[in-house]
Amino acid sequence: MDRPEPARFPGGGRYHRLAPALAARFGAPVRRVVLRAGFGCPNRDGRLGQAGCAFCSPLALIPRHGPPAEAGLEAQLEHALARNLRRHGARLAVAYFQDGTATDGPPARLRALFDLALAPARVVALAVGTRPDCLPPEVLALLAELGQRHAKPIWLDLGLQLADDALLAGVQRGHGVAAFEDAVGRAHAAGLEVVAHVILDLPGAEERHREATAACLNRLRVEGVKLHNLHVLEGTPLASRWKAGEVALSTEEQYVDMAARFLEVLSPATVVHRLTGAGPAELMLGPPWWRRKSMIIKEIELKLASRGSRQGRLVDSDLRPHQLGP
């Protein structure tokens, strides 16, 4: 039986888009600035694993523009804010620590980095990319304190991929679904917001895995989600498996259909930060349609329109919008 349609989304459209949601929240257009602090990853340095996640390349996380990490965080931030204003007319920004596992370090170092990134008035929020098994209590407490002191929301960009332990083991994630659920609960208890990362077409994934993942995110009331298609980067374990014919990638049509279906079973309160993704052009091996990002996004909307549908149509209507933090 069809569920009632949710309320209209900021900016209109058929899903809860990030840009209008940020503009409504902060009163002006907001862009992300990617910062690099040279973080490593416990899934690469031997503490959890050696090769990292099968799909991940550290080279893909390096910002494409601006000074290198060696130039210092202040130089990176100044350059990125100026570029956003010049190219996009956006004065406000979310400072995003993307490289490696950005909660993996001594609290004193993390405090210095995050404090500096939050200091400019033009930075309205901090996003920290990390793993669910790398959130010690002292780091959560630090992030909560910084959010309160600066009166700005703190987001944890938290990798899940899909809510199935066997699929996660197949791509060498090094943690299971329970670790993600625990991390979200502790983050929320600390007053932090969570943006879950999902790869809809992990090797072996079926529709039941995607529906279980949406149900998991709905139950945990995550604030945001980034959807990715499985893509192959040169030099990764996944690339070796793909070249050997062991892994098949989704066609454009398949991905559009699964993304539209995922949105239908995702809470309308969850902000969609991304609908598709790719790495740097020099590393990309597939799928062949990866350059068509804007068209893929349009096709997903058209798929929803063809069904007379939208995000959350198949979700219980009592899932109300939620937002934590200052």
Domain 18-306 class in CATH: alpha beta
The per-residue pLDDT for 321 is: 41
Determine the Cα–Cα distance for residues 177 and 181; give it in Å rounded to an integer: 6
The per-residue pLDDT for 64 is: 66
Whether 59 has a pLDDT exceeding 90, the answer reads no
Helical pair 207-220 and 177-189, crossing angle rounded to 10 deg:
20
Split at pLDDT 50, 70, 90, the class of 312 is: very high
Split at pLDDT 50, 70, 90, the class of 82 is: very high
% residues pLDDT > 70 (the chain): 92
3-state class percentages of the chain: helix first, strand second, coil last, to nearest 5:
40, 15, 45
- Domain regions of the chain by residue span: 18-306
pTM: 0.92
Q: In what order do the strands lie in the sheet with 271-274?
A: 30-35, 92-97, 123-130, 154-161, 193-199, 224-228, 271-274
Strand partners, 274: 226
* 3-class secondary structure, 48: coil
Of 205, 207, 187, 208, give the one whose Cα is nearest residue 196.
187
Whether 176 has a pLDDT exceeding 50, the answer reads yes
How many residues are present in the chain? 326
pLDDT digits (tens, 9 = 90+) for 266-296: 999 999 999 999 998 999 999 999 999 999 9
Determine the Cα–Cα distance for residues 160 and 164; give it in Å rounded to an integer: 9
